[in-house]
Amino acid sequence: MSQTITKEQLITARYGAENAPEQMIWNEQIAGLLSHRSVRHYSDRPLPQGCLETLVAAAQSASTSSNLQQWSVVAVTDPALKAEVRALAAGSNGQANGYIEQAPAILLWVADLSRSHAITEADGLTPEVHDYLDSFLMASVDAALAAQNATVAAESIGLGTVYIGATRNQAKALAALIDLPPRSYVVCGLVVGWPDDAYASDIRPRLPQPVVLHHNRYDAGNLDAHVQAYEATFHAFRERLGMKDKTWKQAVQSAATSMDYMDGREALRATLEARGFGFK
Ligand SMILES: Cc1cc2nc3c(=O)[nH]c(=O)nc-3n(C[C@H](O)[C@H](O)[C@H](O)COP(=O)(O)O)c2cc1C
Q: Which atom of ligand 1 is nearest to the CA of 202?
A: 26
Which residue's C-alpha comes closest to atom 11 of ligand 1? 97
Gap from CA of 165 to ligand 1 centroid (Å): 7
SS (H, E, C) the chain: CCCCCCHHHHHHHHHCCCCCCCCCCCCHHHHHHHCCCCCCCECCCCCCCCHHHHHHHHHHCCCCHHHCCCEEEEEECCHHHHHHHHHHCCCCCCCCCCHHHHCCEEEEEEEECHHHHHHHHHCCCCCHHHHCHHHHHHHHHHHHHHHHHHHHHHHHHCCEEEEEHHHHCCHHHHHHHCCCCCCEEEEEEEEEECECCCCCCCCCCCCCHHHHCCCCCCCCCCHHHHHHHHHHHHHHHHHHCCCCCCCHHHHHHHHHHCHHHCCCHHHHHHHHHHCCCCCC
Q: What are phi and psi of 27, to 5 degrees?
A: -155, 180
| Residue 3 confidence (pLDDT) above 90 | no
Give the pLDDT confidence of 30-39 residue by residue, as tens digits.
999 999 999 9
Between CA 1 and CA 152 the distance in angstroms is: 11
Burial of 136 (C-beta count, 10 Å sphere; 0-12/13-18/19+): buried
pTM above the 0.85 mark?
yes
Mean pLDDT of 143-147: 99
* pLDDT on residue 127: 98
Question: Does residue 2 surpass a pLDDT of 50?
Answer: no
CA-40 nearest atom, ligand 1 = 11
Summarize pLDDT for 5-15 with one digit per residue, the tens: 899 999 999 99
Question: What pLDDT does 16 receive?
Answer: 95
Output the pLDDT for position 233. Answer: 96
Per-residue pLDDT band for 237 (boundaries 50, 70, 90) equals very high
Q: Above 50 in pLDDT, residue 210?
A: yes
Pocket mutation for ligand 1, best pick of 163, 254, 261, 263 (most atoms within 8 Å of C-beta): 163
Half-sphere exposure for 3 (CA within 13 Å, toward CB): 3
| Contacts of residue 38, Cβ cutoff 8 Å, sequence gap at least 6 | 160, 161, 162, 163, 201, 204
pLDDT at 265 over 70: yes
pLDDT per position as a tens digit, 47-105: 999 999 999 999 999 999 999 999 999 999 999 999 999 999 999 989 999 999 999 99
**CA-to-CA distance for 88 and 78, rounded, in angstroms?**
15
Q: What tens digit of pLDDT does each residue of 149-196 get?
A: 999 999 999 999 999 999 999 999 999 999 999 999 999 999 999 999
Q: Which residues contact 191 (CB under 8 A, 6 or more apart)?
A: 39, 42, 99, 100, 103, 105, 106, 161, 162, 163, 164
193, 103 Cβ separation under 8 angstroms: yes
Closest residue CA from atom 18 of ligand 1? 38
C-alpha 96 – ligand 1 centre gap (Å): 12
Q: How far apart, in whole angstroms, are the C-alpha atoms of residue 61 and residue 139?
A: 15
Residues with CB under 6 A from ligand 1: 36-38, 40, 97, 162-166, 188, 204
Name the nearest CA neighbour of 192 among 165, 166, 167, 163. 163
Query: 156 CB contacts (<8 Å, ≥6 apart)?
Result: 32
Cα 116 to ligand 1 centroid, rounded to whole Å:
30
Q: For residue 4, what pLDDT is reported? A: 74
Q: Can you list the domains of the chain with their CATH numbers?
A: 38-202+267-274 (3.40.109.10)
Q: What spacing in Å lies between the alpha carbon of 261 and ligand 1's midpoint?
A: 13
